[in-house]
Amino acid sequence: MARHTMTRDAQRGREAVELEFDAEVIDEPTDVLVPSNPVSGPIRVPRKAALGDTGIAVHPLALGGSVFGWTLSHEASFAVLDRFAGLGGELIDTADAYASGRSEQIIGAWLADRGLRDRMTVMTKAGRHPEHRGLSPRSLQGAVDASLERLGVERIDVLFFHGEDAEVPLEESLGAVDRLIAAGKVRSIGASDFSPERLIEARVLAANGLPRFQTVTTAYNLMDRRGFEGAPELVAHAQGLAVLPYFALAGGFLGGGVRRRTELRHDARGARVARHLGRRGQRVLAVLDDIAAEHGVTTATIAVAWLQSRPTVAAPVAGVSRPEQVDALLAAGSVQLQRSELVELDRASA
């Protein structure tokens, strides 16, 4: 396993994060009160969401790590992770292909320096790293060993198949994971962007003794509903799969920071936001504005809260570029949307 040397600054950071967790937790009927927190003061956090039948229960918001080592430096990534942990976040999502493995390396270094491995649930994906492409037994074995090394952990909490592999029988892939689970290297598995037909095939194979998918991740938000609602959602519900939708804020559009084309960035993110700048997008933002004002939160908070209200969703996945943006995401778990507000959002985004 990878070893990380703790610097004096890292030690101070670790102590600060540990202090943020040093608070009495009082159970309430609908949520939990954390009476002292150096980052935000007293906060209320929701009860935890179960990730299928994995036995894992977490705060219902996953921090996406795709920007770590790519658009965020090592230090900036640490700052985001510190904020996330300090406000009660527990679930981190990454992949071996994110920044060619640098995302996993940064997360691993942070876990070691802050001493938070036992408090955090780490999900990663295999299948798209240049050195371990596809879902063959050999690729999966190599990918998992490499991820464990980069993350500096002994076991991956949730390993996702990063897309389907038409060239490898699913039975072989699941058989390889079965051996990795038996070896103690993987705790549970999930499927990323799998078709309903493939998920049904996987369930049949699980009935014959192979490992069963417990979670699925797919693009889903107020602006992108059609790809998931319908057959994928029905299959997820029927199989009891915990859904972790990524692009929770539609590439940042639902944060409301860009309302006109003149405000667009000239990069890939700007291009993703641009496709939503039509009548439908403006209609959705208008409803988000009204509801956010009513609750005294941001539009991003309401967009995530809408996802959390969906019956199959366990924890949306969202990334940030600055530590202060974490607050709005985690706040969604404590927002109780009224039925009339959900209807308004559904109509505006239909």
**Active site members:** 98
DSSP category for residue 90: -
HSE on the CB side for 43, CA within 13 Å?
23
Label the pairing between strands 49-50 and 57-58.
antiparallel
Q: Of 159, 6, 126, give the one whose Cα is nearest residue 78.
A: 6
Contact (Cβ atoms closer than 8 angstroms) between residue 302 and residue 288: yes
Kindly give the interhelix angle for 74-86 and 8-21, rounded to the nearest 10 degrees.
Answer: 20
Q: State the Cα–Cα distance between residues 63 and 48, nearest whole angstrom.
A: 15
Residue that is written with structure tokens 């994995």 in the block: 54
Residue count (the chain) = 350
The residues, any chain, with a CB within 8 Å of residue 74's CB and separated by 6 or more, are 106, 109
Q: State the Cα–Cα distance between residues 13 and 84, nearest whole angstrom.
A: 13
Residue that is written with structure tokens 């993703």 in the block: 272
Q: Of 197, 188, 138, 130, give the one whose Cα is nearest residue 164.
A: 197
DSSP string for 189-253: EEEES--HHHHHHHHHHHHTTS--EEEEE-B-SSS--TTTTTHHHHHHHHHTPEE--B-TTGGGG
In this structure, what token pair is assigned to residue 302?
């309401």
Residue that is written with structure tokens 């699925």 in the block: 216
Q: State the Cα–Cα distance between residues 213 and 203, nearest whole angstrom.
A: 8
